[in-house]
Every structure is written in C-alpha cells, then in structure tokens.
Amino acid sequence: MLKVFQTEILDPRNFIVTLELVPGRYSTGKSVDAVRGIARDAFADGRIAAVSVTDNPGGNPSLSPDVLGHDIFQVGMDVILHFASRDMNRVGMESRALQLAMMGMKNLLAVTGDYTGKGFGGQGAPVFDLESVSAMMLLRQLSNRIIEAGDPDGFFVGCAVSPFKRTEAECFAQYAKLSRKIAAGAQFIITQLGYDARKFAELKTILQQKKLQDMPVMGSVYVLTPKAAKVMNMGLIPGAVVTDKLLAAIKAEWETPEQGHRLAIERTAKLGAILKGLGYRGMHIGGVHKNFDIVGKILDRMQEIETGWKDFFDEFDYPQADGFYVFPKTMYGDDTPNLFGQTPADLPLKERVHYSFLKTVHDRLFTFESPLAPMCAKASQWVDMHKKVEKVASCLENSTKSILLDCRHCGDCGIQHVGFLCPESQCPKHTRNGQCGGSRDGMCEVYPEKQCVWVRAYQRLAYHKETEKMSTGCIPPRRWELNRTNSWLNFHLRRDHQSVPFQKEIQSGPSSGDDKDSKK
C-alpha cells in the first residue's frame, strides 16, 4: 500500500510507524540484499509509513544512503534520508540536497552527526562546516528556491532530540536547541533512544508548554539484544541510553534465546503502545537487520495491548543515577511548573570572573546598541585602512583571546552565543546553536575527560539568570572567508555573521513558540 510519509505524519489522527535501516560497508552482498528485502516486505505489509536510511552511522564509512534510498523509493516505499553535517562542507551539502530533490527524495532528517570515525588510511577529517540548525536554514532556503523554480514541494525536514540526558544542564540544552531547530524550519521530531517512560512524557509536556503540541514527534524504539544493549550501555552509540539495570534485565532474558527474542518483541510493543498513549505521532523502530518478520510481530502484539498502556507505564522505569527530571511527578500528563533553574546556581569563582569580564567588555565594545559603537566603527575603519596598524591590532587581539579563550582566530567570533566560551576550540563539532546529542553525564562525546562546552555555558548563564539566550534566535554559520582576520574589525565593519543579510532572514523565520516556561 502506497503511503506518503509527509501526509501520514501531518494527520493528527494517525499513529505511524517508520523503520530505520542501516547500510553496510559494501555495495553488494548479503547486507545490502537484507536491507532491500526488509524495505520490500515493509512496503508489502502496508503498515510502515517510511523507512529511514542512516548516513555513515558512528562516523564510519558505509554505503551512501542516497543510492540505497533511491532503490527503495523506486519500489514504492517512502524514504527518510539522514542528512548529516559531519562529512561535507556547505557547498557539498547544498549539492547533495539539490541532487536528492531532483531524485524526488525530500524527506530529510537533519543531524549534526556522530564524530568522524576511521576510513581509508586512518581517521577522516571532521568537517562540521554546518551543524543541524544551520543545515536546516540551508534546506529552508533551498526549498524556497525549488518552489520558485516550479516544483510544488520543498524539503520535508525533521530533527532529533534527546529527552534522556542525566544532568539539568544537558536537559535544558537539548530543549533549548530544539526551540532553535523548530525556528530554523524543522517540521517533525524523532527522539534519540531511551527506556525511561517518564522522559518520553516530559518531552510531550515541554512541547505543550512551548505551545508546540501540534508538532509531530516520533519516539525511537529498538529491538534490544544483549550485544546491542551492551554497546549502548558503554556509551559507544552517542545519544542512546541503556542503564545498568536494563542491561542486566536483558542479559537475564536472553539466557534462553527463545525467551529473549519473545521478550524483546514484548518490550518494543509495550513501549510503542506507551508512545501512542502519550500522544506521540508515531514510533521509529531500529535494530532490525535480517528480515521484516520481527517488525510484523511487534505491530501485531502492540495492537493487542495498546489500550492497556497505562498498566505497564511503570515497567519502563530505568532512571539514570542521580538523573534530573524536568517535572516532579513520575506519571504521564504532568503539567506542573518545570524545575529548570530551581537548583541554586553555583559557579566557581574562576568561571564567574571569566564570564563577567568578557561580558562587560562585549556589552561596552561589541554591541551595536552600545554608546561607544559609533566611535568604535570609525576607529575600525581607520585601522582597516592602515595595514601596519591593523597588524598590531591583530596581534593584540590574537594574544589576548588566545590566553582568555584558546582562540583559533576564525575572524567571526561566536563566544557571545556560548556563554563567552569559544565554540571553535571548546567544541569538536564547532556548534554555535546548542549542544549536540552525544554528550554523556555532562561530558563531551569526543573528549569524555572534558566537560561539554554547552554544559559550561548553561552553568554560567543559569548563575546570571540568562538561560533564555540559549534558545532564542538562530545563529548563522561561521563565515569562512574571514578566517585568520581580525574579528574585532569584522564586527564593527559589519562583515561577520551578525551583520550579513542572512541574519535578518534567519531571525524572521518561523516562531519557535513561547519559551517562557523553559526559562530560568
């Protein structure tokens, strides 16, 4: 039965099912045949609205989702392609998007992507020219161009969010970035993977408080085996959460393979029923690698039990140790005031001094509203015309910011967006719009010995009661043409990302809703 994913998910009467497929590292063979076979059977079954195809998962090379997706698309199955920012610069991403549009594949899940893994000759160079929010800005612009050229349909773009973070800072950062993703043009949401029903309920309540209850959101479920659960428990799949308690339960269940298989189906079906009961628009099934049969069993079982979803809500009680919850209750439908910022903010003296000093300098010298702005602009024009003086100014900037910020001299400074921390030196993915989904326990996905820069930013902003800065506006991407130039002059001469015409278009994009309930 032919289904159109966009039509299906936008109908509030529907609860849809999508299936995640993972290409292998070969262009032919059993793995490719298995993926094609699952997609054909899914189409024949008629209950699957679309299959999604991952884009180099884990940062490791695999068959292009575009060519495999096109094969599936021609069968009649609608396709969602993961559109990661990790491997291409903005020029390559635009070219890829135009190619997909020409091929008729316009359902895209825009993600920043896992950090770069190993390929030919060693680790690949991490690109991260854009991250998920700026990629959505790009796709929104391309959609307008496509429609103007006569195509009636632009891209249908989705985003990811993780409600399963352990710390308050990470929880806030995820929801703050979600606001920006929606402002940038996200039209549907798919969660990361977790097994805490209370967290699933929290996401729905957050969307309701932001007046985004009509935004289609799908919950991820996974057919867990001991091997997959162990990998997730170890944190080797960024964003996926399997606690020690859940891992122990799965190992016990699979001591008898037949029992383990049956209970894996039961767990997946129950979580799907909970998602439907909570008002999710659908579920996104992962962990299916060999054939479609197990998906059919999950859907059959879910149909049998879905009306009793409240009876097994508490079975999905797998909290993380000392984990933060936005709302004080444990059940569904909780609409009490959220707890963001309720914990007394504490910030080390060094962090307080660093933030206060840089913010004071910024507010006086690097805002267009400052009384000193006209004088600074005139001085910058004079310095820019005298190259010897400009070199002295650049040496002063570089030495000062290297000491204070470990500055990489990008020429398009973004510290004011990240709590006066450098996104180029402090984030391996150079994120300017918010935290990626890969942090764990507040630590960086790539360098787990370092605290995530967005956790630090939240702590600074929470102490100064300014957390709303993390969710308002969409930050344009870095302007590479300014690399190794003087960012002080670039600001006052209106060359950087804060002054280009693109900034006005971004800020006038779709509303992200009322954020007042998520502010401190």
Distance CA 26, CA 323 (A): 40
Q: Which residues lie below 8 Å from residue 205, measured CB to CB, with a gap of 6+?
A: 326, 327, 333, 334, 335
Q: Is 362 exposed, middle or buried (0-12, 13-18, 19+ CB in 10 A)?
A: middle
Residue entry with tokens 């428990």: 233
Domain 5-315 CATH (choose: 3.20.20.220, 3.40.50.720, 3.40.50.10090, 1.20.1740.10) = 3.20.20.220
Give me the amino acid identity at 483: N
Beta-bridged to residue 283, according to DSSP, are 17, 219
Distance CA 217, CA 203 (A): 9
- Domain ranges, ordered by start, for the chain: 5-315, 349-518
The DSSP secondary-structure symbol of 328 reads: S
C-alpha of 407 from chain center: 26
> Pick from 164, 63, 133: which is nearest to 429 by CA?
133
- pLDDT recorded at residue 262: 97
- pLDDT recorded at residue 3: 86
User: 286 with 33: CB under 8 angstroms?
Assistant: no
- pLDDT recorded at residue 372: 97
- pLDDT recorded at residue 518: 37
Distance CA 11, CA 6 (A): 9
> In a structure prediction context, what are the per-residue pLDDT tens digits for the chain, which is 520 residues long?
578 999 999 999 999 999 999 987 756 556 788 999 999 999 999 999 999 999 998 888 999 999 999 999 999 999 999 999 999 999 999 999 999 999 999 999 999 999 999 989 999 999 999 999 999 999 999 999 999 999 999 999 999 999 999 999 999 999 999 999 999 999 999 999 999 999 999 999 999 988 998 999 999 999 999 999 999 999 999 999 999 999 999 999 999 999 999 999 999 999 999 999 999 999 999 999 989 999 999 999 999 999 999 999 999 999 999 999 998 765 565 566 667 776 667 899 999 999 999 999 999 999 999 999 999 999 999 999 999 999 999 999 999 999 999 999 999 999 999 999 999 999 999 999 999 999 999 999 999 999 999 999 999 999 999 999 999 889 999 999 999 999 999 999 999 999 876 555 554 444 334 443 333 3
Q: What pTM value is reported for the model?
A: 0.92
User: 421 with 461: CB under 8 angstroms?
Assistant: no
CB atoms within 10 A of CB 431: 26
Q: How many Cα atoms within 13 Å fall on the side-chain side of residue 400?
A: 13
The DSSP secondary-structure symbol of 294 reads: H
Backbone angles phi, psi at 50, to 5 degrees: -170, 160
Helix %, strand %, coil % of the chain (to 5): 50, 10, 40
Q: Is 349 exposed, middle or buried (0-12, 13-18, 19+ CB in 10 A)?
A: exposed
